[in-house]
Amino acid sequence: MIPPPSWLDPDKAYLVGISGGRDSVFLHHWLKSHQFHSLIYCHLNHGLRGEESNADQVFLEDLLGKQLICEFIDVACLAKTKKISFEVAARQARHDFFDRCSKATGITEVLLAHHEDDQAETILLNLLRGSAGLKAMKPFTTIGSIQLLRPMLQIRRSEIDLYLQSHDLPFREDSTNALPITPRNRLRHEILPLLQEIMGRDPVPALLRAEEHFQVSEEILNETLHHLQLSDPQGRLFLPKLREFSQELQKKVVFLYLKKHQIPDLSSLLIGKAAELIPSEGPPALSLPGGLRLRRKESRLFISP
């Protein structure tokens, strides 16, 4: 088993997101075996599986004792109130929970148990959604005042299973993971095995290589666009110069601009509508997620409340 990456410091304090499932239990034992002792574990009970969710919490309390911070959030109610999916509601609830844990402990870095197979699923999901290309999870992601760290992105699910079996380590099995109720579950249990059958080889390495090649091309394009100085001193997009580009390149610039300003849910449909503001005869404004607006005024494109 490979050691934790060199950018993790065994003598440093970290928060650890833990569910009780195989991946996060592996992360716990993996870190402990490499002398990481200043760890505080954060478990959010989503309340989506009734007594099974409560049993997850009891399992973790027995495993971690005073090192564990627990909270309960009714994710189903949150999703209904905000009119968002369970997945989005759960992710938002987790990030808010990690932020509260960070404020309570003074620790700003949170370790997560995403691994290489999760990475391949993420790449395929983003490709099929059509708005982000071959986008993968990053080892480091900043959310507000906290940083999410993913030290297991070079470890396969099969390696995790072998480690847990060889050390006879108990973990909790989420019964919903095997159900075809989310796109990720169906990719994991149906599409990726089918791709392996069709191609006669494991599709995960090919997806990871494709993402690496895509990111190199993206970095070259982004650097080129940066040197073209498409923004004015106020950070607004300068439309006369942007109108000289092809429509596809205009969409790319708009995507990067909205991403820079942390506009969520950047679908290909939204990017297309935003690019319609670039021509002088186009609509003057567009509503954005989060209650903001993209506006065109005096040959500039900018975001406003």
pLDDT of residue 242: 93
Answer whether 145's CB lies under 8 Å from 102's CB: yes
| End-to-end Cα distance, the chain | 50
CA separation for the pair 295, 279 (Å, rounded): 12
Q: Which amino acid is at 201?
A: R
Reduced to 3 states (helix: H, G, I; strand: E, B; else coil), residue 30 is helix
CA separation for the pair 43, 13 (Å, rounded): 17
pLDDT of residue 82: 85
- pLDDT tens digit string along 208-260? 999 999 999 989 988 888 888 898 889 999 999 999 999 999 998 999 899 88
Q: What percent of the chain has pLDDT over 90?
A: 71
- pLDDT tens digit string along 250-303? 998 999 899 888 888 788 889 999 999 999 999 999 999 888 999 999 999 999
Answer whether 277's CB lies under 8 Å from 283's CB: yes
Answer whether 18's CB lies under 8 Å from 30's CB: no
Q: Which of 69, 65, 13, 21 is nearest to 41 (CA)?
A: 69
- Say how many C-beta atoms besides its own lie within 10 A of residue 86's C-beta: 17
pLDDT of residue 291: 87
Q: In this predicted structure, which of 173-177, 192-196, 208-212 has the lowest mean pLDDT?
A: 173-177
For the residues 91-104, what does the mean pLDDT come to?
96
pLDDT of residue 179: 79
* Phi and psi torsions of 184, nearest 5°: -65, -45
pLDDT of residue 287: 94
pLDDT of residue 58: 95
For residues 172-199, one letter each, b for 16 or more C-beta atoms within 10 angstroms of the residue's C-beta and e for the rest, the string is bebeeeeeeeeeeeebbeeebeebeeee
- pLDDT tens digit string along 19-37? 999 999 999 999 999 999 9
Answer whether 163's CB lies under 8 Å from 22's CB: no
- How far is CA 45 from each of CA 16, 32, 125, 253, 256, rounded to the nearest angstrom? 15, 24, 26, 40, 35
Classify strands 237-238 and 300-304 as parallel, antiparallel or unpaired: antiparallel
> Is 80 exceeded by the pLDDT of residue 133?
no
* Phi and psi torsions of 22, nearest 5°: -60, -40
> Is 70 exceeded by the pLDDT of residue 132?
no
For the residues 79-105, what does the mean pLDDT come to?
91
Answer whether 160's CB lies under 8 Å from 34's CB: no
Cα diameter, the chain:
67
List domains and CATH numbers for the chain: 14-177 (3.40.50.620), 228-304 (1.20.59.20)
> Is 90 exceeded by the pLDDT of residue 88?
no
The pair of structure tokens assigned to 223 is 């650097």
Give helix then strand counts, H and E, for the chain: 12, 10
Write down the mean pLDDT value for the chain.
Answer: 92
Instruction: For 120-178, give the DSSP string.
Output: HHHHHHHHHHSSSSS----SEEEETTEEEE-TTTT--HHHHHHHHHHTT------GGGG
Q: Which amino acid is at 164?
A: L
For the residues 167-173, what does the mean pLDDT come to?
95
For the residues 169-191, what does the mean pLDDT come to?
88
* Phi and psi torsions of 301, nearest 5°: -120, 130
Q: Can you give the pTM of this predicted structure?
A: 0.82
For the residues 179-185, what does the mean pLDDT come to?
84
pLDDT bin (cut points 50, 70, 90) of residue 149 is very high
Answer whether 258's CB lies under 8 Å from 268's CB: no
Q: Which of 98, 41, 49 is nearest to 74 (CA)?
A: 49
